[in-house]
């Protein structure tokens, strides 16, 4: 689950549009699941504006909506079908024949649910847009809804009806029932984009991400999905503790973008504790490139191997002084990976020896070659302590 925090609704629309653009650029005939309500309006405005100025085309896109009220005229202003037409579909070049939404005015609602469920199964979404209710509902799947229930008739809670009352002239006119896509049907989408605005959604967002994993908050089901992007404003994210997440994410991105050669130079100049952190975060995919570079310099490795014992003797005292802090830093940062060296200071000295030889050394390869020397050094330490 990826979390993006923005300042306001406009930024939310712009960030969410990045996901829309990515999907349609990859697949012009993508299937997109749409949500209704106030939250996605900023996204739909961005989509309409982009299209107006020669951006994306939606001619081949298929659209499915999450839900619809029971007993509301599809052409009435309170219906979700009318909402989608006024807010988005009339402003882009999508084919009306490619849009589908449950019919809350159907004479046989059970048959309509079966029809819609079959249509979803035949056309799994490439991207599903979601909002979230104050009680954690997604679509109109209220708390304690069974996840495996397909498109069904949902009984709306009092809090849900109150939250949607602004679309009706009188709150008493808000329907008690709606047709809604099921939770597991939502999870069949390849990607999910959940949007939330305002402090009133903060508790639901907290429960979705940090709360109990059960049906009391239907949105917790999204934890099971492999590709979920959550875009929030600061108020909706106010109950989350994310400073450490942001720090870790920023460090991971920096490590992923850094070229392999720059990592070697930084390792020679960075303090011991920082080297350990960077070594833990370095993606495995970047290391083979460095290994190839080291294999092209066999003569340098031989010279380094001969000078390694001297470097060990010079740094033995330093290793004893700094080994405890290094172990503490590793404990705080998480379990070390296979790529993290045991004695970062020795690698720094050996890397300096390589520089004297006029060539660049690879820390990972040296660690393998120095294992015998490290064992000998351990024996020397034990003798000294006696």
pLDDT digits (tens, 9 = 90+) for 241-264: 866 455 545 555 565 565 544 444
* Residue 255 confidence (pLDDT): 59
Cα(331)–Cα(324) distance, rounded to whole angstroms?
11
Say whether pLDDT at 94 is over 80: yes
Say whether pLDDT at 73 is over 50: yes
Q: Which of 63, 27, 32 is nearest to 189 (CA)?
A: 32
How many CA atoms lie within 13 Å of 32's alpha carbon, on the beta-carbon side? 24
Q: Which domains can be identified in the chain, with CATH numbers?
A: 2-240 (3.40.50.1360), 259-385 (no CATH)
Say whether pLDDT at 229 is over 80: yes
Residue pair 161/177 in contact (Cβ under 8 Å)? The answer is: no
> What residues are annotated to the active site?
67, 135, 137, 142
Residue pair 43/20 in contact (Cβ under 8 Å)? The answer is: yes
User: Bridge-partner residues for 130, per DSSP?
Assistant: 194
Say whether pLDDT at 335 is over 50: no
Residue for token pair 């599903």: 128
Cα(17)–Cα(43) distance, rounded to whole angstroms?
6
Residue pair 70/153 in contact (Cβ under 8 Å)? The answer is: yes
Residue pair 201/239 in contact (Cβ under 8 Å)? The answer is: no
Residue range 49-70: average pLDDT?
95
- The mean of the pLDDT values for the chain is 76
Look at 340 and 85; give whichever has higher pLDDT: 85
Strand order in the sheet with 99-100: 2-6, 228-233, 192-196, 127-130, 31-34, 62-65, 99-100
* Residue 249 confidence (pLDDT): 53
pLDDT digits (tens, 9 = 90+) for 175-204: 999 999 999 999 999 999 999 999 999 999
pTM confidence score? 0.64
């Amino acid at each position: 689950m990826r979390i993006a925090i923005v300042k306001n609704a406009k930024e939310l629309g712009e960030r969410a549009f990045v996901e829309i653009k990515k999907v349609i650029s990859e697949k012009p005939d993508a299937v997109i699941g749409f949500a209704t309500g106030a939250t996605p309006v900023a996204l739909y405005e961005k989509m309409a504006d982009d299209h107006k100025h020669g951006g994306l085309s939606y001619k081949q896109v298929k659209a499915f909506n999450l839900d619809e009220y029971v007993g509301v005229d599809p052409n009435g202003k309170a219906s979700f079908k009318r909402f989608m037409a006024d807010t988005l579909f009339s402003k882009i070049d999508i084919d009306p024949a490619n849009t589908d939404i449950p019919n809350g005015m159907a004479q046989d609602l059970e048959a309509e649910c079966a029809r819609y469920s079959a249509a979803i199964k035949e056309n799994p979404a490439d991207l599903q847009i979601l909002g979230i209710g104050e009680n954690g509902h997604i679509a109109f799947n209220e708390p304690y809804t069974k996840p495996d229930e397909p498109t069904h008739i949902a009984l709306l809670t009092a809090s849900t009806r109150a939250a949607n009352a602004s679309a009706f002239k009188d709150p008493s006119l808000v329907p008690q029932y709606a047709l809604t896509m099921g939770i597991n049907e939502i999870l069949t989408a390849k990607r999910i984009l959940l949007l939330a605005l305002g402090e009133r959604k903060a508790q639901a967002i907290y429960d979705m991400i940090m709360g109990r994993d059960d049906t009391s908050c239907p949105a917790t089901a999204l934890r099971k999905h492999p590709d979920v992007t959550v875009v929030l404003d600061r108020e909706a994210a106010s109950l989350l503790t994310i400073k450490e997440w942001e720090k870790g994410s920023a460090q991971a991105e920096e490590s992923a973008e850094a070229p392999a050669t720059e990592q070697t130079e930084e390792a020679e100049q960075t303090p011991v504790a920082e080297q350990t952190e960077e070594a833990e975060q370095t993606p495995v995919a970047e290391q083979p490139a460095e290994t190839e570079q080291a294999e092209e310099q066999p003569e340098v490795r031989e010279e380094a191997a001969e000078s390694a014992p001297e470097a060990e003797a010079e740094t033995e005292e330093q290793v004893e002084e700094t080994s405890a802090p290094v172990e503490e830093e590793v404990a705080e940062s998480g379990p070390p990976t296979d790529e993290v060296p045991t004695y970062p200071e020795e690698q720094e000295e050996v890397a300096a020896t390589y520089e004297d030889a006029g060539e660049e050394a690879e820390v990972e390869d040296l660690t393998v070659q120095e294992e015998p020397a490290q064992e000998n050094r351990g024996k020397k330490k034990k003798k000294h302590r006696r």
